[in-house]
Amino acid sequence: MRDENQLHAAVVELVAMDDATIKYSTVQNWYPGDAEGRGGIYNFVTKRGACRGARSKISWTQVETGSAITWKYPSCILQGEGSVGEFYSVAVTTNRQQADTGTKMIHIGANTRSTIVSKGISAGRSNNTYRGLVKILPKAAGARNHTQCDSLLIGDQCGAHTVPYIESRNATAKVEHEATTSKIAEDQLFYCRSRGLSQEDAVNMIVNGFCKEVLKELPMEFAVEAQKLLAVSLEGSVG
């Protein structure tokens, strides 16, 4: 039974009217398949949000650790004047997992703002992709976006990919994209271990530090769960 793949295809739609704020947080831990990539969930999810009202706000926060394949792009249609979209994401892949996730920020109204923070952690022979669209339409005068994509590699057989799509059709808009890729450095691990931390505790500490900007967006109980989940997901991925 477990050699087969199951499909999870959920649809979430959010609508925020004048001055409304919606915060939607997910921690996802579906069965990822075995070490060789047999079995596991295909997690193909539609999530979209409409900021229809003035000054409305939609904030997506996600922690993705499970599933054999994840395709997921929670989006915000920023229609109301001064509306705000946020996307905070941690995606962890190990063994043969594939995660292709990101967001769409579609700026329609004037003075709309969006923030994207994506943290991808790849281990084993997995592939982790950030794919995101920032689209500024002609009437979105003064629109602003800041995107930050950081990738952390554990081991030398995994992949991290960053695929940003940026379309701006208004000359007054400001769009920024920052991306970094780093490897857990031997000297960081050694520093922690020389202070008495086990190899696994050291990895957890470094990974949690790497994800902190996103984890602090989660409700408290979720954040604690998410930290534990990261630790379990990465067990045995170093050394």
Partner 1 sequence: MGALLQIAGLTAGIDGREILTGIDLDVPAGEVHAVMGPNGSGKSTLSYVLAGREDYAVTGGSVRFGGADLLAMAPEERAAAGLFLAFQYPVELPGVGNANFLRTALNAIRRARGEPELDAVNFLKLARAETKRLSMPDDMLKRNVNVGFSGGEKKRNEVLQMALLRPRLAILDETDSGLDIDALKIVADGVNAQRGPEFAALVITHYQRLLDYIVPDRVHVLIGGRIVRSGGPELAHELEASGYAGLAEAA
* Binding residues vs partner 1 (CB under 8 A): 185-188, 190-199, 201, 205-206, 208-213
Q: Which residues contact 6 (CB under 8 A, 6 or more apart)?
A: 41, 42
C-beta of 154: minimal distance to partner 1 in Å? 16
| First-last CA distance in the chain | 32
Q: Which residue's CB is nearer to partner 1, number 61 or number 75? A: 61
- Measured CA to CA in angstroms, residue 105 lies from 45, 82, 86, 91, 131 at distances of 17, 14, 8, 19, 12
Shortest gap between Cβ of 118 and partner 1 (angstroms)? 15
Least distance CB 47 / partner 1 (angstroms): 26
- Which is nearer to partner 1, 171 or 194 (by Cβ)? 194
Q: Which is nearer to partner 1, 172 or 199 (CB)?
A: 199
Nearer Cβ to partner 1 (165/190):
190
Sign (positive/negative) of CA torsion 27, 213, 46, 80?
Answer: positive
Q: How far is the CB of 198 from partner 1 (least distance, A)?
A: 6
Q: Please give the helix or strand (H or E) that residue 206 lies within, else none.
A: helix 199-215
Would you say 157 or 199 has its CB closer to partner 1? 199
Task: Work out how close the CB of 123 gets to partner 1 at its nearest, in angstroms, rounded to a whole number.
Answer: 18
Q: Are 106 and 136 in contact (CB under 8 A)?
A: no
Q: Sign of the C-alpha dihedral, residues 205, 229, 26, 38?
A: positive
Cα separation, 166 vs 215, in Å, equals: 26
